[in-house]
Amino acid sequence: MTPTSNMPSDAQIQGTTHDSERYVNAIGPRGVIGIMTPGPNVNVENEMMDMRPEGVINAIDRYYVPNQKIGANADWEIIMKHVAANLDDSVRRLKETLMDHLVLGMSSQSYMGGEKGSFALLEHLQRVSGVDVTMGAQSAEQAFKLCGAKRIALLTPYYPVIEHNAISYFTSRGFEVVHVEGLKCKSIIHVASQGYDALRDATLRCAEAKPDAILQLGTNLHYCYVAADAERWLKMPVFASGPVIYWSALRKMGINDKIKGFGSLLEHH
């Protein structure tokens, strides 16, 4: 047989069909959530599997993004160009699961272009996927409104180029960003290496600005347990981006299970 190494990975072979008839999944009778995440993101898949209620399927697609060496704003810009170039193919692959809901498991892209860019991306993904979509920016806004927060602090693994977009989004939506704690991680894999103690200390620096709530951006930061603990120490809402996104998706799907261990949203709302 002739090797097919030169064939695009998503090439359509002659005779291919796409059956759209739906069946109830044996593992996931309550719904299928399609989750897009960048290739180097090793955190989203595992955290969201740990949060998954019984009867729900998480279908994961890892779209290509290089584990770019990051030393300046321009490096993050290259990463985001890869994301923009590869999202639609990721949606196309996930559509084959006949998913009920789509999650963008990367918070940074949801803030690019501020308010206008974020909602344009949301509308685009809804149109391409044909299902409702949950992204980080709108999920965080939903969480802040739920707890009545107006003054917010952001904890990120980013450089300012990403943070400026997030600040623009929240300012346009009526929030005051009183502090940004940027860790300036050296690569996406370096983001995933940040441990509990470093993230705790960064959280405490955010708290010094006396916000109404703290939000961590960057879904490859393993922050979910730090956030859950910090809510007890600080007596304020502390939100990890992955659980916020997953919580919002579940609630949109009408799945109201209370899940312990990932903070106040999933446990109480």
Task: Give the orientation angle of helix 73-95 with respect to helix 160-172, to 10 degrees.
Answer: 70
Cα dihedral sign, 243-248-251-252: negative
Of the candidates 91, 90, 88, 95, the one whose C-alpha atom is nearest the C-alpha of residue 22 is: 95
Q: How far apart are CA 177 and CA 168, in angstroms?
A: 9
* pLDDT per 10-residue tile (average), the chain, 269 residues: 53 86 94 97 97 98 96 93 96 97 97 98 98 98 98 97 96 98 96 98 98 98 98 97 98 98 96
Instruction: Please give the helix or strand (H or E) that residue 44 lies within, else none.
Output: helix 44-51
pLDDT of residue 5: 53
Sequence-separated (6 or more) residues with CB below 8 Å from residue 250: 53, 56, 256, 257
Q: Is 260 helix (H, G, I), strand (E, B) or coil?
A: coil
pLDDT of residue 18: 87
pLDDT of residue 12: 74
pLDDT of residue 114: 97
* End-to-end Cα spacing for the chain: 56
pLDDT of residue 2: 47
Sequence-separated (6 or more) residues with CB below 8 Å from residue 14: none
pLDDT of residue 1: 45
pTM score of the predicted model: 0.94
Residue 7 φ then ψ, to 5°: -80, 135
38's tokens: 């960048």
For residue 239, count CB atoms less than 10 angstroms from its CB and return exposed for 0-12, middle for 13-18, buried for 19 or more.
buried
Of the candidates 261, 229, 231, the one whose C-alpha atom is nearest the C-alpha of residue 247 is: 261
Q: In what order do the strands lie in the sheet with 213-216?
A: 176-182, 151-156, 213-216, 238-240
- C-alpha pair distances (Å), 20 with each of 27, 82, 87, 90, 98: 19, 30, 22, 18, 7
Q: Which domains does the chain have, with CATH numbers?
A: 31-135+244-263 (3.40.50.12500), 139-240 (3.40.50.1860)
